[in-house]
Amino acid sequence: MIENKISIKSIHIKNFRSIRNVVLNVENYNTFVGLNDAGKSNLLKALNLFFNNQTDYGNSFDFSTDFSYLFPKNSHNTREIKIKVMFSIPSGFRDCGDIIWEKSWRTNHYFKEKMVTGNGKELGSRSRVPFALKQIRFRYIPAVKSKDYYKGLLSDLYIAASASLANPLKESIDKLSKDLKDYADDINQKALSHLKLSSHLSMPN
């Protein structure tokens, strides 16, 4: 277990695509090996649904197609997809230890989620755990990667690079933008003063 890190301890999936009911105990690094159509991708797609409300890359959840085709047709049990993830919360949080985050989906856009401690107790209203868990970013990488996937990857790379620009470079860009705006405002004033023309130059974003 990595200290001071939130980690996943177990994953419980019910009624999702080819997965009828499975519980997986996981560690920090996991490798899944199996034949084609054994359910490896559906495990990752279930996590993509859990974290991103998508199944395949870029495709929103659709209960009619994502509900397990292995569900008994004559069953009187509720037709429901349920994914439950147990996290290990480090000691830096007041609610440290095991936390279970559960989500369930039914027809007619029904959705429900809850977070409880490992022994089933509700989290307090001031707990920082829900906010921390909802900051997790899960990326599903499909086996067959389309052009749209690479476009999305480049977009994410651009956003990350922009966010990490060195401060001196950002300050220089901001100063240039301000100088150009001041210059455009000066031209507007001179056009009004000398030519009696009311005009407006604006800088592009």
Average pLDDT, consecutive stretches of 10 residues, N- to C-terminus, the chain (205 residues) = 79 96 93 87 95 89 95 93 97 92 95 94 92 92 82 80 67 82 84 77 63
Alpha carbons 33 and 41: distance in angstroms, whole number: 11
Helix and strand counts by DSSP (H, E) for the chain: 5, 5
Alpha carbons 57 and 175: distance in angstroms, whole number: 40
pLDDT of residue 62: 94
| Inter-residue contact 204 to 193 (CB < 8 Å) | no
pLDDT of residue 173: 77
Alpha carbons 83 and 45: distance in angstroms, whole number: 11
CA pseudo-torsion sign 138, 131, 88, 19: negative
Distances (CA, A) of 6 to 26, 92, 93, 120, 177: 13, 10, 10, 19, 41
pLDDT of residue 1: 43
Neighbours of 8 (CB within 10 A): 18
**81-89 and 97-105 strand pairing:** antiparallel
Distances (CA, A) of 4 to 11, 51, 92, 118, 151: 21, 22, 7, 18, 34
Alpha carbons 139 and 45: distance in angstroms, whole number: 10
Q: What angle do CA 136, 78, 26 make, to 5 degrees?
A: 35
